Amino acid sequence: METVITPAGITLAFDRYVGGDAGTVIVIGGAFSYRKFPKMVELAEKLADEYRLTVINYDRRGRGDSSDSPGVYDVDNEIDDIAAIVEAVGGSAALFGWSSGAGLALQAAASGRVPGITKVIAFEPPFVVNHENFVPPADLHVTLHKLIAEDRRGETVKFYMTKGMGMPRAMVAVMRFTPFWKNLKAVSPAAGHDWAIMGRFMTGEPLRAADWSGVTVPTLVISGAKSGDLLRTAARAATAVLPDAQHVELAELSHNPNIAILTPSAGEFLTGTAQFAG
């Protein structure tokens, strides 16, 4: 484990997987993820071993071994965290964002606050761009912040998964009896950061090209054919408003992805060895 302290005093923990000289990519997890999440580790290892990339897998603030800003939820803070990571690993890196981490990666690239971003991969950013499927309540943050402040972690997980992510209540109820429920509760306070990132893009309204005009680097948007219509629609909508984006939908892939299926498109795009290269 390595760490970097941001200008705001946040300690960010990360692991560095050195595969070769094909460039650096920072992996950005989504809601309830953390750097030791098994599929995050598998993705980092495969990109390093099979594509000679240096992969930085970090704990976003409020997760794992990184510190937090309790009660302060602002996407600009997490963009500044990414800037600190990029600087710490050499000043140049691509971003691979997963779910809300994809939303964060795209906003970081659009912001102009992170020098050195070379490419972006957005794996199923959970934008809600119409009213045909699930739309979170506009006042979700009120209850979410209250649950976090009162340290009601199990309730935070259930609330955000059902009201913020649209998961069926029965599915979430079953999760309570799985071994990883304790890990979900451990990172549940960070859900406030995920909503700060995604909330204004989950209203059921179309994405606006003006919000994404700053994403001038080559971008690959990935979706899975086994994912729900909401996520697949979001991927197409994101691709349409990004200045330099391509979209690939992978058969047999879902939002809980088979990393062996996900990795080739990502690795080939990042290393410029396939049709997806910018």
Compute φ and ψ for 40, nearest 5 degrees.
Answer: -65, -45
Task: Dig out the tokens for 236 from the structure.
Answer: 């197409």
pLDDT tens-digit map of 87-138 = 999 999 999 999 999 999 999 999 999 999 999 999 999 999 999 989 999 9
Angle formed by the axes of helices 100-111 and 191-198, nearest 10°? 60
Lowest mean pLDDT: which of 94-103, 167-176, 238-247, 255-264?
167-176
Task: Dig out the tokens for 145 from the structure.
Answer: 């912040």
Beta bridge partners of 27: 57, 96
Does 275 have pLDDT greater than 80? no
Mean per-residue pLDDT over the chain, rounded: 96
According to CATH, the topology of domain 2-127+207-271 is Rossmann fold (3.40.50)
Banded pLDDT at 273 (limits 50, 70, 90): confident
8 A C-beta contact, residue 89 and residue 114? no
User: What's the mean pLDDT in 8-26?
Assistant: 97
What residue ranges do the domains of the chain occupy?
A: 2-127+207-271, 140-197
Which of 177, 254, 241, 253 is closest to 214 using CA atoms? 241
- What does the pLDDT read at residue 123? 98
Task: Report if pTM > 0.85.
Answer: yes
> Which strands, in side-by-side order, build the sheet including 219-224?
2-5, 11-18, 54-58, 24-28, 93-98, 117-123, 219-224, 245-250
